[in-house]
Structure 1
């Protein structure tokens, strides 16, 4: 599954992590594969498994 970098940036900003969002903007590729880039996501405090529930349209449950 590929996730657009902007969705991850928006997620970080919504969590009040603007400094990490700025870092992620320059460090992440335009499309992110949560499995392939798990170590990079972890650097920004993102658990790849949590992305499914936190980014709309990625198959999260509820809401």
Structure 2
């Protein structure tokens, strides 16, 4: 699944991970493929499957359970 980098950066910032967000901004492509870039996502503390569930889930989810980590 492709996710816009800005959504990932917003998620990291909402978790208080501003340093990781800055690093992710410089390392991730504009469109992040959760399969192809799984290693990079995990480097920033993000589970690719959680991202797929969050962003593919559609409406009303907000940040869901991702903030409870």
TM-score (norm 1): 0.85
Q: CA RMSD in A?
A: 1.8
Q: Which runs of 4+ in 1 moved over 6 A?
A: none
- Structure with the largest fraction of helix: 2
TM-score, normalised with respect to structure 2: 0.78
Structure 1 unmatched ranges of 5 or more: none
Output one character per residue of 1:11-62: Cα deviation in whole Å (capped at 9) or x when no partner. 000000000000000000000000110001011000001113444xx226x7
Q: Which runs of no fewer than 5 residues in structure 2 stay unpaired?
A: 62-69
